[in-house]
Structure 1
Amino acid sequence: MAIRTSRELMAWQPPVGWHELSGDQRHAYLERHGIRIPLRPADWDTMEDAQRARYLTWHGRILHDTPEARAYKEREYRKDLKAWNLLMCWWCFSLLAALGIVWGTGVLEGAGLRIGVTVFAVAGFTFAIVVPMQITRPTRPEE
């Protein structure tokens, strides 16, 4: 099967069950059927950037979106999420320790001063730690 252009390549539909095939099984299927999916098709030089991006996305989905790759991405996500949760717990413990020092010792005199320091610490913690951490929280890999 001599497919040359990106339009012809992207018109090819994988068989039923392709999503569950491993990388080796996919390559074996393509070899058996004489299908060659190049990284750069014959019309690569004439393609616009958006078309190239669409083709590369399709190429990655067809050849590299295997069960092994999805399992690896899921393991990496769980590892990153565990590290993120551990760091958030560390920051919360640090805040509680600081507030324990403010309230548990006689360092600051007067309830008003202690309340002011507490409000300042909680607001600063929220804007300096919690908000950026929520933005950088790992996201589940796409299926």
Structure 2
Amino acid sequence: MSRVCEHHQEKPVRVYNQCIGCELKSLHTDIERLTKERDAFKVGRDNEMILKNEVIRQYEKLEAANTAMREALEQLIEVYERRQRSAITILDDPDTSKDQWIRVQGKKEVFRVSLLELDTILKGEDGHGHGKIETDQ
């Protein structure tokens, strides 16, 4: 440690009513405290960015899964609509036997109910359904 010269021993330098040594010690303590706070902030910020990136990745996975499910449901709707139209065609055919007509009538109703349920599933936040579903009876 350095020694204080005779002049300053007789007339010590005062900063903010403290001796210069005490003031320097106080400043070094503040520097250490602020350095620790800064390092803790950096760690917290880094952890926050890691969490944010993970949330973004999970959101993108969910969006991809949601898109795939919607596409699969829309394909299922197309299949049911095609089957419903086929059932209607069979029911409208005068040459259809009574047994076949009864069987197809039941299937037509199942297709109609299934289409209504799928439309409910596909309803968006705006409350509007798929918009393409035909529910002819």
Tell me the TM-score range normalised by the shorter chain: 0.3 to 0.5
- Rg larger in 1 or in 2? 2
* Structure in which a larger fraction of residues adopt helix: 2
